[in-house]
């Protein structure tokens, strides 16, 4: 062993002595978390109804962001046709409650019909994404991006123009559900709180995805398919699973979008919005839940921000004679460019000291376990082979007694 | 009984014949060497054994079972482990997570229950982490558990890779140039370790290797691959002095005309 081993083991502190926050530290972290989440709910509770409606849009964007993040961040492929999944689900959900369940704005809509509509939306989003996933097994990169683009346009020109499903330009009504447990979901504020519940659900699934073999499998596949397969990972199945899951998240968002707008119009789902969604995930930080959620909400609310400042509002609406949706996409593209050139890792990377602190690490600008060892070690001959291989548990080098053979760890079998 | 039987395996990429009529047997508990000049098709053969490439002809049998049509992950589940020439680890994941990836086929919960967040998935994850930490402790890398792979020294990565492949609990181990980048002494030491590993873990090994002294030192049998064909095979002592092998490796004079000429 000797120097070769020491060179590697020396610089980094042992993991089992890892730093843990004190009780006060945990209380501080918990307080901050409660303030953030409580603050969002509190704002939703006190703003005017029309702002609550915008907040529900922001929440839906968060779900869409998380949906795209699965494909873009975890699988590492671009989807420029996400508006197809969202749109199909929105129409399916609206079609179900209006045409099948017989809900109308006047008569209302029982909550279980609403749930069934959402469920069918999720299902249709999953099926639509499965078809794309099957293509993605064969092609990737630029060509897959082109296929997703075509897929989106195809949906716009075909499915979104079926009169019985979409009722043409007038749109398919999707009345909001009746309240349950004394809650009122027909108001904008009540509906906004309902969307929060669904966002929490998506966040939970996304959390379990990354913290289980599923996420590890998908991230391994992104890195290298042969390597992943050589660890016994079923590449085909997990790739499809990722696409289906992304489609189901998008389907959920689509269903919620339908009920938020109460009328689904096919114009709402076009390529420019799919592009905006891709941009917001890039700016948020590929593969990072927190970054994606925050920036998705920001992108959703961005068109309404000038209202908070009259001068800005006048400039955009009167002077430029432009709608904010156009400004959003230009602004989004610029932000994405800035992210790629100047701030790789996106918003998530910029706030990572805070998120790491919240997760119970020390507040520091660098992640744990990094920066401790110098890159100078790279490929240096002394680190290779011998000394380290001795550590493969085979302590019986030439110096040891043969009698120690019995000590060989058998647990490895 | 042969653990691995390769029969008449051939594969071509476009007009290039990468492998042709290859027959190889790897008997139980032997360390079989696979040598040959660069471009001879050694790694291609590994990819055929693992199912990463689909051969145009021939069969691959593992313990008398034809596995030619099985996907890679199924072959791994049967007990074939493989290392890569340029380190088959998942960059971007931590060392610990790489060991968890290696446990993948033996994880005791389904994908859907994982996504639904069933309590037993939490328990199983804790158990997996604990056992992965044990392995890390065993190879003395506990302190690196939370480190990402980027920036770790090459030698450490090689060690981690062998560790993760052993964590898949292989029965047949395919090593692709395990000593690349090592000096002669380290390569020799690796050979010693390999013999120990075989003893403790009951491994059968097929190994691509360039260090001739190592091959002679540890291999029970050697196949020489040249231009996609088995040039010759035999015990290491025979191979070492085989004129065609010397010619193939050193480009010296060939006493008899070799039949394969393509580039």
Interchain pair A412, B125: CB under 8 A: no
Cβ pair A258, A94 in contact under 8 A: yes
Q: Which option is the CATH number for A25-358: 1.10.287, 3.40.50, 1.10.405, 1.10.3470?
A: 1.10.3470
pLDDT band of residue A324 (cuts 50, 70, 90) is: low
**How far apart, in Å, are the Cα atoms of B56 and each of A139, B9, B17, B192?**
22, 8, 10, 38
The answer, yes or no, to whether residue A388 has pLDDT greater than 50, is no
pLDDT digits (tens, 9 = 90+) for A244-300: 999 999 999 999 999 988 888 888 888 888 888 998 998 888 888 988 999 899 888
Residue B84 is classified by DSSP as -
Judged by average pLDDT, the poorest of A129-138, A324-333, B243-252 is: B243-252
A251, containing H or E segment: helix A235-261
* CA neighbor of B162 nearest in space, from A390, A377, A413, A389: A389
Mean pLDDT of A163-188: 77
- Output the tens digit of pLDDT for each of chain B's 263 residues: 788 999 999 999 888 889 988 999 999 989 999 988 888 888 999 999 999 999 999 999 999 899 988 999 999 989 999 998 888 888 888 899 999 998 888 887 888 888 888 888 898 888 888 888 888 887 778 888 888 888 888 878 888 888 888 888 889 999 998 888 778 888 888 888 888 888 888 889 999 988 888 888 899 999 998 888 888 888 888 888 888 777 777 554 444 444 444 44
pLDDT digits (tens, 9 = 90+) for A62-121: 999 999 999 998 988 888 889 999 999 999 999 898 887 777 777 778 888 888 999 999
**How far apart, in Å, are the Cα atoms of A170 and each of A163, A264, A266, A270, B124?**
10, 9, 9, 17, 52
Distance, CA of A362 to CA of A20 (rounded, Å)? 8
The answer, yes or no, to whether residue A390 has pLDDT greater than 50, is no
Task: Tell me how close the Cα of B123 comes to any Cα of chain A, in angstroms.
Answer: 11
Q: What is the pLDDT of residue A319?
A: 65
ipTM here: 0.86
A255's CB contacts (< 8 A; 6+ apart) are A89, A90, A92, A93, A117, A118, A120, A121, A122
Cβ pair B139, B127 in contact under 8 A: no
Phi, psi of B180 (to 5 degrees): -60, 135
* A positions 185-214 inside 8 Å of B (CB): 204-205, 207-209, 211-214
- Chain B residues whose beta carbon lies within 8 Å of the beta carbon of residue A369: 94, 144, 146-148
Q: What is the pLDDT of residue A250?
A: 94
3-state DSSP assignment of residue A359: coil
* B positions 90-149 inside 8 Å of A (CB): 90-94, 97, 100-102, 104-105, 107, 109, 111, 114-117, 121, 125, 138-148
CB nearest A370 (choices: B140, B147, B185) = B147
* A positions 244-303 inside 8 Å of B (CB): 245
Q: Please give the structure tokens belonging to residue A306.
A: 């000038």
Q: What is the pLDDT of residue A48?
A: 85
Q: Beta strands B221-226 and B31-35: pairing type?
A: parallel
Q: In what order do the strands lie in the sheet with B80-82?
A: B80-82, B172-176, B204-208, B31-35, B221-226, B229-234
A50's CB contacts (< 8 A; 6+ apart) are A188
* CA neighbor of A284 nearest in space, from A298, A273, A263: A298
* CA neighbor of B50 nearest in space, from B60, B37, B41, B65: B60
Interchain pair B90, A219: CB under 8 A: yes
* CA neighbor of A117 nearest in space, from A103, A130, A106, A127: A103
Residue whose structure tokens are 């509770």: A45
Q: Please give the structure tokens belonging to residue B245.
A: 């092998």
Q: What is the pLDDT of residue A322?
A: 61
Distance, CA of B55 to CA of B6 (rounded, Å)? 11
- Chain A residues whose beta carbon lies within 8 Å of the beta carbon of residue B163: 392
Q: Please give the structure tokens belonging to residue A203.
A: 């966040």
Distance, CA of A10 to CA of B9 (rounded, Å)? 48
Q: What is the pLDDT of residue A249?
A: 95
Task: Tell me how close the Cα of B43 comes to any Cα of chain A, in angstroms.
Answer: 13
Distance, CA of A169 to CA of A283 (rounded, Å)? 34
Q: Does B180 touch chain A (CB under 8 A)?
A: no
The answer, yes or no, to whether residue A185 has pLDDT greater than 90, is no
Interface with chain B: mutation pick from A9, A13, A73, A232, highest number of B CBs within 10 Å: A232
B172, containing H or E segment: strand B172-176
pLDDT band of residue A180 (cuts 50, 70, 90) is: confident
* CA neighbor of A125 nearest in space, from A258, A234, A216, A292: A258
Q: What is the pLDDT of residue A61?
A: 94
Cβ pair A206, A66 in contact under 8 A: yes
Cβ pair A148, A79 in contact under 8 A: yes
Distance, CA of B13 to CA of B20 (rounded, Å)? 12
Distance, CA of B66 to CA of B60 (rounded, Å)? 6
Q: Which residues of A250-264 are buried (b: 16+ CB within 10 A; e: fewer)?
A: bbbbbbbbbbbbebb
Residue B32 is classified by DSSP as E
Give the bridge partners for B204, in sequence order: B172
Domain boundaries defined on chain B = 2-88+170-250, 90-148
Q: What is the pLDDT of residue A355?
A: 82
| Helix, strand, coil in percent for chain B, rounding step 5 | 40, 25, 35
* CA neighbor of B188 nearest in space, from B218, B162, B211, B214: B214
Task: Tell me how close the Cα of B234 comes to any Cα of chain A, in angstroms.
Answer: 28
* B positions 23-62 inside 8 Å of A (CB): 47, 50-52
Distance, CA of B80 to CA of B50 (rounded, Å)? 8
**Superfamily the domain B2-88+170-250 falls into:** P-loop containing nucleotide triphosphate hydrolases (3.40.50.300)
Domain boundaries defined on chain A = 25-358
Q: What is the pLDDT of residue A238?
A: 92
Interchain pair B144, A12: CB under 8 A: yes
Distance, CA of B131 to CA of B150 (rounded, Å)? 24
Distance, CA of B149 to CA of B131 (rounded, Å)? 20
- Chain B residues whose beta carbon lies within 8 Å of the beta carbon of residue A5: 140
Distance, CA of B107 to CA of B102 (rounded, Å)? 10
Cβ pair A219, B93 in contact under 8 A: yes
* A positions 330-389 inside 8 Å of B (CB): 368-370, 372-373, 375, 377-381, 383-386, 388-389
Residue whose structure tokens are 């996409």: A329
Distance, CA of A396 to CA of B192 (rounded, Å)? 10
B27, containing H or E segment: strand B16-27
Distance, CA of A389 to CA of B163 (rounded, Å)? 10
Query: For residue B174, what is the nearest residue in chain A, using CA coordinates?
Result: A230
3-state DSSP assignment of residue A108: strand
pLDDT digits (tens, 9 = 90+) for B237-258: 888 888 877 777 755 444 444 4
Count helices and strands in chain A by DSSP H and E runs: 18, 2
């Amino acid at each position: 062993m000797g120097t070769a081993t020491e060179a590697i083991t020396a610089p980094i502190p042992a993991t089992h002595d890892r730093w843990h926050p004190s009780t006060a530290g945990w209380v501080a972290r918990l307080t901050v978390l409660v303030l953030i989440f409580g603050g969002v709910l509190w704002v939703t509770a006190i703003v005017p109804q029309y702002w609550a409606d915008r907040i529900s849009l922001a929440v839906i964007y968060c779900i869409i962001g998380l949906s795209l993040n699965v494909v873009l961040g975890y699988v590492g492929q671009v989807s420029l046709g996400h508006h197809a999944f969202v749109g199909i689900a929105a129409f399916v959900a609206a079609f179900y409650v209006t045409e099948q369940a017989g809900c109308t704005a006047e008569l209302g809509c029982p909550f279980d019909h609403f749930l069934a509509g959402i469920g069918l939306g999720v299902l249709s989003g999953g099926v639509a994404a499965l078809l794309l996933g099957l293509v993605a097994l064969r092609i990737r990169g630029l060509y897959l991006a082109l296929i997703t683009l075509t897929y989106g346009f195809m949906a716009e020109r075909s499915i979104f123009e079926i009169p019985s499903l979409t009722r043409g330009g007038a749109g398919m009504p999707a009345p909001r559900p009746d309240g349950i447990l004394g809650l009122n979901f027909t108001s904008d504020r009540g509906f906004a709180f309902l969307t929060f519940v669904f966002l929490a659900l998506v966040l939970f699934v996304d959390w379990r995805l990354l913290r289980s073999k599923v996420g590890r499998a998908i991230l391994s596949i992104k890195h290298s398919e042969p390597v992943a397969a050589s660890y016994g990972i079923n590449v085909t199945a997990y790739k499809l699973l990722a696409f289906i899951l992304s489609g189901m998240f998008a389907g959920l968002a689509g269903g919620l979008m339908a009920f938020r707008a109460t009328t689904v119009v096919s114009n709402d789902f076009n390529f420019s919005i799919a592009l905006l969604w891709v941009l917001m995930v890039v700016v948020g930080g590929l593969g990072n839940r927190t970054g994606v959620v925050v920036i998705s909400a920001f992108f959703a609310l961005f068109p309404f921000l000038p209202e908070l400042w009259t001068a800005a509002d006048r400039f955009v609406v009167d002077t430029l004679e432009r709608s904010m949706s156009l400004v959003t996409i230009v602004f989004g593209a610029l932000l994405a460019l800035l992210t790629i050139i100047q701030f790789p890792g996106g918003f998530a990377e910029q706030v990572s000291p805070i998120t790491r602190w919240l997760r119970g690490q020390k507040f520091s600008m660098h992640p744990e376990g990094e920066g401790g060892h110098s890159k100078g070690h790279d490929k240096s001959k002394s680190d290779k082979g011998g000394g380290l291989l001795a550590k493969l548990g085979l302590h019986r080098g030439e110096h040891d007694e043969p009698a120690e053979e019995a000590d060989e760890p058998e647990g490895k079998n | 009984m042969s653990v691995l039987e390769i029969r008449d395996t051939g594969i071509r990429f476009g007009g290039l014949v990468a492998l042709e009529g290859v027959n190889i047997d790897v008997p139980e508990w032997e360390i079989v060497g696979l040598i040959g000049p660069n471009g001879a098709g050694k790694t291609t053969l590994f990819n055929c054994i693992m199912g990463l490439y689909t051969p145009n002809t021939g069969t691959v049998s593992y313990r008398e079972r034809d596995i030619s049509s099985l996907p890679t992950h199924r072959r791994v589940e049967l007990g074939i482990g493989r290392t890569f020439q340029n380190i088959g680890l998942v960059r971007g994941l931590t060392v610990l997570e790489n060991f968890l990836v290696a446990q993948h086929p033996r994880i005791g919960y389904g994908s859907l229950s994982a996504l639904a967040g069933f309590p037993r998935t939490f328990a199983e994850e804790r158990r997996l982490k604990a056992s992965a930490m044990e392995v890390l402790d065993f190879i003395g890398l506990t302190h690196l558990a939370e480190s990402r792979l980027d920036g770790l020294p090459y030698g450490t990565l090689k060690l981690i890779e062998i560790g993760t492949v052993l964590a898949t609990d292989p029965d047949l181990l395919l090593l692709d140039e395990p000593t690349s980048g090592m000096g002669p002494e380290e390569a020799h030491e690796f050979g010693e370790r390999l013999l120990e590993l075989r003893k403790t873990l009951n491994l059968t090994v097929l190994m691509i290797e360039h260090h001739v002294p190592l091959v002679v030192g540890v291999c029970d049998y050697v196949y020489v691959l040249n231009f996609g064909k088995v040039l010759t095979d035999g015990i290491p002592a025979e191979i070492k002095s085989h004129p065609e092998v010397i010619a193939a490796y050193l480009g010296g004079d060939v006493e008899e005309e070799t039949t394969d000429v393509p580039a």
